[in-house]
Structure 1
Amino acid sequence: MATTEAALKEAMTTIEGAVGVALVDYTSGMALGTAGGTKDLDLTVAAAGNTDVVRAKVRTMELLGLNDEIEDILITLGTQYHLIRLMRGRGANGLFLYLALDKGRANLAMARHQLRKIETELEV
């Protein structure tokens, strides 16, 4: 099992095109840990903003009566992918991993696969 710091570092070093990554508590909107980022990508601001995205999707699913779980949410920008992966398992309720990728360097399918692997190894 990996600590938050180790898991986020692994994401930055093993996921091709990773720009920044954060572990976020979507009940509070706070980033519990971050790695990477740029002057244009403040991971603390992104954590809070993406909390609103997760909450809106959860609320919409409830209104629709969908009896299912969100695996991940993909936001595609002109130059970046933003991937939000809701965590499952013991102690992980209310948490998500947020990953920003450089669209020109990233392999989205591999990034999703690697982020899922990191999630399973993360001990919160």
Structure 2
Amino acid sequence: MTQLDQAISDLLSIEGATGAAIVDLGSGMALAHGGNPGFSLEVAAAGNSNVVRAKLNTMRDLGIQDQIDDVLITLGQQYHLINVLKDEANKGLFLYLTLNRANANLALARHKLGVVARNVRV
């Protein structure tokens, strides 16, 4: 199992996880993905790269000199979490995790997502 596949496996082991991807911000392509959230993770990866780029552009326009930690999108039945990787070797990548809202613990999921994010090596 590759390191990226292991990271996807670790993400999918989070209670309530239905899908996960490691995404290249520049291209919007998923480098690895898994699970079955009920929609295309490839399309979601591309769309969420637009979300992250839009926020980075807005921060630049506002003169905010900081980094994005997480982006949280709450839907009626799902949570979508985006964690932008900060390690220099992983710059330009983010983790994308979908959770079933009915059985996910959001605080614990964010914590575990952060642990996986710190250990991803590409």
Return the TM-score normalized by structure 2.
Answer: 0.96
Count of aligned pairs: 121
Deviations 1:7-57 (A, max 9, x none): 1111112x100010000001011000001024x321001000001100000
Deviations 1:54-86 (A, max 9, x none): 000000000000011100100000000000000
Flag structure 2 segments of 5+ consecutive residues without an equivalent. none
Structure 2: distance between partners of 1:44 and 1:17: 20
**Alignment match, 1:23:** 22
How much has 1:92 moved relative to structure 2?
0.7
**Alignment match, 2:117:** 119
Deviating 4+ runs (over 3 angstroms) = none
Structure 2: distance between partners of 1:122 and 1:63: 30
In percent, how many aligned pairs have the same letter?
50
CA RMSD between the two structures = 1.0
Q: Which amino acid aligns with 2:18?
A: V
Structure 1: distance between partners of 2:118 and 2:65: 23
Q: Which amino acid aligns with 1:93?
A: K
Structure 1: distance between partners of 2:27 and 2:36: 21
Q: Which of 28, 47, 50 is the aligned partner of 1:49? A: 47
Structure 1: distance between partners of 2:82 and 2:16: 16
Structure 2: distance between partners of 1:41 and 1:76: 16
State the SS of the aligned residue for 1:91: helix
Flag structure 1 segments of 5+ consecutive residues without an equivalent. none
Moved more, 17-26 or 84-93: 84-93
Output aligned runs, 1:85-96, within 5 Å: 85-96=83-94
**Alignment match, 2:60:** 62
Return the TM-score normalized by structure 1.
Answer: 0.94
